[in-house]
Every structure is written in C-alpha cells, then in structure tokens.
Structure 1
C-alpha cells in the first residue's frame, strides 16, 4: 500500500508542477495573441510563425493541463446525476470509468499516435506554410500530454481503489464529512 501511495503522490506532484507551468503558458499565449493582433492591425505585419506559436501554446495548455485537471477533478461529467449518488457510488463510477474508459483511451491514443510522431521526428517535420514552425515538437508534446493524463489516471485509480478498500480517505470525502 505504501508503495502505491508513493507512486500516486509522485504522479500528483509531477502533474501539479506541470499545471503550474501551464498557468504560465496561459499568460504567454494571451500576450502573444495580443502582440500578434497589434502587429497585424497597427503595423500591417503578419507572420505564420506567430500564428502557429499561438496554436502550439494553446495546444500545450490543453494537452499538458489534462492530467492536472483530472487531479483536481475538473473534467466535465454529468454532475446532475453524479452529485445525487452516494460518495461510495461516486468512487465506483470514478474507479470503473478510469479503468474501463480513460486508461484504454490513453493507451489506444498513444499506440496510434506513436508511429505518426516517430515519423515526424525522424524527418524533422516543418509546417508547410511559409515562415512556419517545426511540427515535430508539438507532436511530441501530444504524446507527453497523454502520458501525463495516463499517469494521473493511474494515480486516481490507486487513490479510489484504496479508498474503496477502506485503506485511505480522499480529501473530497473529508470535506463532505465536515460540510
């Protein structure tokens, strides 16, 4: 049990650090978007590299923020139904949803994306647009994002499983008991 909790805590800490980086990426993409708009409308200057950098940063926010969002239970679900269930039923839903849907989807995505990303890295793929950026780094970031999401899924599976077994109490349960 201690080894599982240590693994879970390591994964949680990793995604928490990545989440902190993602917050700064939000600021970066906001500033880049504003600068790009100013350059385009005031100076009549546009660059595909600026546009692609915006897209890449925006993608990184979602790809690398997914694990952090899962850690903080922020993903969208049908809360109208979920909120009416008992805490134990919600644990089972989270546990089975992670085991049967999230982790298989992550594995399938990684399996399907790997050859595409490997080929992109091998040929050092660039944007086909004039003045564009290299494409291979954002494709590698896709794999990193799904690895982070999968790792967080494993962490959540560990925590929910240990809670269902009566060996751990989640923070959400503690908060409900106080309320």
Structure 2
C-alpha cells in the first residue's frame, strides 16, 4: 500500500501535447458513447454499432455510430480549443471526477445495504404483513418493486451526500464489514438467530470495497508491481514504461471487461440488471445481486478513467514536466 506524501500545485497551462491529450480524451469519449449506446441497445432495442450496415443505413441504425461521432467531436473540440492545458491538469481533472464517482458509490452502497437489510428482516419476520397488509407485503417480496422504490432513492441520496462530503469512505466501509460480521457471530452464537440477508450484506459491502477502491489504489501506486528493473529507472523512463503499460494492459483490460460484460441483453452485466436478479436465498435474502453485477461495470469504468489520468501523468513524466507527485511506501 502507498500514500501520497507530497501533492504539488498543478498548473493549468503547460507544454502542448495534442496527440497524447487527444488519445486520452478520445478514450473518455468512447466510454461515454459506449455507455449511452448500451442503455439504448438494452432498454430500447436499438441496433449495435455495426447495425447500420445490416439495416441498410436506416435511421435507427445510424444512431449508434452518430453518438460515437458526436462524442469524438466534443473531445477533439475540447483538446483543440484548449491546446495549452497541461497534461497534469487534465490528469487531475479526471482524478477529481473519478473521486466523486467513487465517493457517491460508497454512500450509495452504504444506504442501500442498510435499507435492504431492514426490508429483508421485516420481510422474513412478516412485519410487513402486520403493518401494511398482505397485498403491500407481497410487493416488498418482488425485486421489481424493491429496486425502483427502495434502492433507487437510496442511490440518489448517496449521490447527494457525496456532493457535500470529501471522504472516500474506504476505511469506514471496512469497519462496517467487520461490524456486520460481528453481528452475525453475536446473533448466531448468543441468540441462535441467523438469516441469509446477514451474509448477503457482508458480501455486498465487501464486493464494493474491493472493486471501488481499485481506482484510488492505482492513483496512490498501491497495486502490486514487480519492480526489480522498474525501481532503478529514472523518472523519464518510468514515465515511458507507465504510459506503454497503461495502453497495452490497463486500458485494454478495462475495455475487455466492458465489451464482454455489456455484449447484449444476455451478457453478465446487462442480464441481471434487466431482471433485477436476486440471490438463491430469494425471499430470505437481500435483493442486491443485480447491483453486484453493476459493480463489475463500475470497476471497469472507474479504472478506465483512472488509467487515462495515469497515462497523462506518465506522458508528463516522460516529458520531464514539473508537478510530479512523489509517492513513498507506508512505513511499517
């Protein structure tokens, strides 16, 4: 694990780097277009990117490539109209956006986890029947009701809270996992009470901790690196290695996850979302399995954005530009 020991002020202006900046912002544009098209293809049955060929250049078939074209034009316009923006400035901008996304996801899984666990407890113990009657109680047994009327408001609340906080929440999420595990132990061995939703909550939060923290770990140089050769390189050569590795390994891996995971309605990410899939525990468990599929996509999205930021910093290191962040390992 690593921590940032010194974060210098990042100047907005620096040496022009049009090729590197175009490449990076085209990656972001392609990501945005890909996600928009995925929604259109899955929810509204629009043709895929190559559908305009099989559809004989129909209007519907042109929507997908048009979205990509518009996204690339916007990215090119931003780069060409701001030619003096420093690479590190763009890197910092992307990192700040990514930090907000991760912060919003933390608060969302916190609120959703608590709310769904309470709903599951009340469902298992038939509290809804006593309070709301049979018909309304049955509604809380359907994932198609719980997802939009319980989960979505909690996610919206998480986004709002993220706008007014600065903590990423990884430490607190780890503490919540320990607390949830402790609750299972106490309830099982002291009160002889255990339900499936209790284990679901631990898995839900643990998956969020592992997948959401990866992008920030990359920013802090905390991922494992075999650096027998790398450690002896100077900053410029390290920048070259990081830039090449980001393109060949990092961005490629993120895109593979997104393309395979969102390859149509029956793909591993899209299919659970469309049906609000629940675990095998069913009625006794939490209705959050579909969100754990979403976590995979969010992992790839945040990693891709952070890899572009990392690429900008790496190219800046290769060009020996000022403002380099110094990272040192945490002392034990």
2: distance between equivalents of 1:4 and 1:28? 38
1: distance between equivalents of 2:86 and 2:277? 41
| Aligned pair partner of 1:122 in 253, 274, 294 | 274
Contact persistence 1:8–1:156 (CA under 8 A) = yes
Structure richer in helix, relative to its length: 1
Q: Does 1:141 align with 2:295?
A: yes
Q: Does 1:38 align with 2:186?
A: yes
What is the RMSD computed on CA atoms of the aligned residues?
2.0
Contact persistence 1:127–1:133 (CA under 8 A) = yes
Cα deviation for residue 9 of structure 1 reads 1.6
Deviates more, 1:3-12 or 1:70-79: 3-12
| Aligned pair partner of 2:285 in 127, 132, 152 | 132
Q: Which residue number in structure 1 is paired with residue 224 of structure 2?
A: 76
Cα deviation for residue 6 of structure 1 reads 4.2
Contact persistence 2:218–2:306 (CA under 8 A) = yes
Contact persistence 1:22–1:60 (CA under 8 A) = no
Cα deviation for residue 57 of structure 1 reads 0.8
Deviates more, 1:79-88 or 1:127-136: 79-88
Unaligned ranges ≥5, structure 1: none
TM-score by length of 2: 0.49
Between the two proteins, the alignment pairs up a number of residues equal to: 174
| Aligned pair partner of 1:51 in 195, 199, 223 | 199
TM-score by length of 1: 0.87
Q: Which has the higher contact order (CA 8 A, sep 6+)?
A: 1
Structure with higher Rg: it is 2
Q: Which residue number in structure 2 is paired with residue 10 of structure 1?
A: 93
